[in-house]
Chain A
């Protein structure tokens, strides 16, 4: 119950914070935050919002940006309706957000036709910066391929010969595993077996885990996020599976790794950000985040934070209106908590380091230990024509 009051107090203060942001004296740029605040991905939406607000507040530019938030519920039709509302009714200059690859797919044509710049702060759908790329869609988070391709090569180079893969059966799951498998086999590895589990329905991974172990593969590589990741890692631990577990870093995201407990120790994963990066930019970010929220930041908060930085950089370079922001966004580059970042104008996807890390037990619970850095990972143009 203590937590209830803490949450309520937090919600109240957050609400007050938003009101003060929504009623600025002279706002120049109107921003639509389009994120899931209910449903499976609600925690992600909140983390991204916190990060975004933090960037604007740190820069002391809250007066410059007025913010309208809309809840996509992580459902494609709802997301599209909310995007229409933000553009046509609220007349926002720029939209920031989108967690689900499905919602991004649904919004894509509308965003493109209405010529409203969209800063994608999570959804990794490869197509959005590939075949279906748009000069108005810039992604500061990651693409599904970008996180997993380097890990495929890295694992093959580090002595792993055969891998069994598992992921949920939906677009992001397929994109993550396909890009991993392609890179892994290209580097000489072999896929011993592969299962896609029904998306959002599988709670019991016991059958899949025991199957993967009996395949005799050197390692298991998986993509799971959120509640699915927690279940998967805990069950991996409880079955005492001897095959080492590797994954897309969302598997042991700092946002929820605590719920996975000891089972997460030794899981090795690749991600575009871990909070233990030893750089001055990251240390300053982590300290500021800890001071404000009392928890470690996650990749989601950083994505929100960097979306804020990218937006401010674009406004500084171009102007505060729709057209200038859209023109300036693909050319922004800066050093953020993740390291040096730039947008690749050929795809409008971010170019960034990918970090291979172990989850280890630290002094205050589970933490991330950096193993290797794959610098400046850039996506292939893959059919993108601006």
Chain B
């Protein structure tokens, strides 16, 4: 196990962490802001992958798919918001979980009707379809792109949340929605914008993941559990929590897989149990 082994696995871990981050940040901010558990978030990830594949197949342009697919997913998210999410806001967490859990299966069957049961692949764009050699290793360029994409979104979200007025409004609404509303912040509209943004990120994660993982009808359900674990470990509602959680899970699963293969499946759950016992609010929860 030389330096190149560690570097390779470090990049593998980063790449997985960034995908988890793109998914969990939407889920956790929606929860932090609206106190709404949207389990169907992972279905939007799946839709992102399938729409990406269809747009790419129709136009032959990966980058067009990369932009259009999150937009389509956002539109679907907006429709869901007005038809279901908004009216479930006051219904309590149990009903929300049931409705969005049901939604997972509805979307799943719609995807099966539209795209069939056979897994579909998407080719990485030509510009990124090669491997890059550096420091004695060669690594797929597309995976480096995903790492860069995740880091860019991570930093820009931090800047927006910490340094801009809309960021201050979001943070204020997370901490105390009533007080924020009485200060003149249109909390309802803010919720909608944040919800749509979360959907767009889920769609983006889906289309970004498609060239690596291919699209299957079970991809939404399989990614839901690690995403929820990231959110629980990181702490609900906070950007820092989502960053910490996705890095911890990404590294734990990647290094667990190569160093302790027989234990790798349970490592995450052991960590989850330890966190829930010692620090049930998560590592870096949002205040409020």
Contact = CB atoms under 8 A, between A and B. Distances in A.
Interface of A: 1, 3-4, 7-8, 11, 38-40, 42-43, 46, 169, 195-198, 200-204, 206-208, 210-211, 214, 226-227, 230-231, 234-235, 238-240, 255-256, 258-261
Interface string B211-224: 11110111100110
B183 interface: no
B124 to A, nearest CB: 7
B263 to A, nearest CB: 10
Contacts of A203: 212-213, 219, 222-223
Interface string B1-28: 0000100110010011000000000000
B171 interface: no
Interface in B85-138: 112-121, 123-124, 129-131, 138
A259 B214 contact: yes
Given A231-B214, A259-B119, A261-B123, A4 B9 contact: no
Contact of A42 (B117, B120, B143): B117
A46 B129 CA distance: 33
A101 to B, nearest CB: 19
Given A198-B264, A211-B258, A206 B121 contact: no
Interface in B232-288: 254-255, 257-258, 261-262, 264-265
B16 A204 contact: yes
A72 to B, nearest CB: 14
B163 to A, nearest CB: 34
Interface in B30-56: 54
B45 to A, nearest CB: 12
Interface of B: 5, 8-9, 12, 15-16, 54, 112-121, 123-124, 129-131, 138-140, 142-143, 211-214, 216-219, 222-223, 254-255, 257-258, 261-262, 264-265
A40 B211 CA distance: 19
Contacts of A195: 261
Nearest to A41: B117
17 contacts: A1-B54, A1-B114, A8-B113, A39-B218, A42-B112, A42-B217, A196-B261, A202-B257, A207-B258, A210-B5, A227-B119, A230-B119, A231-B214, A234-B211, A238-B142, A259-B120, A261-B121
B113 A208 contact: no
Contacts of B8: 206, 210
B138 A259 contact: no
B12 A210 contact: yes
A231 B213 contact: yes
B143 A238 contact: yes
B112 A230 contact: no
A234 B9 contact: no
B264 A255 contact: no
Nearest to B261: A195
Contact of B121 (A7, A43, A260): A260
Nearest to B253: A204
A207 B254 contact: yes
A226 B212 contact: no
Contacts of A42: 112, 117, 217
A4 B115 CA distance: 7
Given A206-B12, A207-B254, A238 B216 contact: no
B23 to A, nearest CB: 13
B131 to A, nearest CB: 4
B143 A206 contact: yes
A238 B140 contact: yes
Given A201-B222, A259-B121, 10 more contacts: A7-B114, A200-B222, A202-B257, A206-B143, A211-B5, A226-B119, A227-B119, A227-B218, A230-B214, A238-B131
A332 to B, nearest CB: 31
B181 to A, nearest CB: 42
A206 B15 contact: yes
Given A203-B222, A214-B5, A259-B118, A227 B140 contact: no
A178 B212 CA distance: 29
B257 A7 contact: no
Contacts of B121: 230, 234, 258-261
A200 B113 CA distance: 22
Contacts of A169: 265
A240 B114 contact: no
Contacts of B222: 200-201, 203
Contact of A234 (B214, B223, B265): B214
A255 B118 contact: yes
A207 B9 contact: yes
Given A40-B218, A198-B265, A207-B254, A7 B116 contact: yes
Nearest to B256: A207
Contact of A239 (B113, B131, B264): B131
Contacts of A208: 257-258
A258 B124 CA distance: 15
Nearest to B123: A261
Contacts of A8: 113
Contacts of A227: 119, 214, 216, 218-219
A11 B114 CA distance: 11
Contacts of B139: 239
Nearest to B12: A206
A240 B131 contact: yes
B116 A3 contact: yes
Contacts of A234: 121, 211-212, 214
Contact of B118 (A43, A200, A201, A240): A43
Nearest to B4: A214
Contacts of A258: 121
A282 B255 CA distance: 47
A343 B262 CA distance: 38
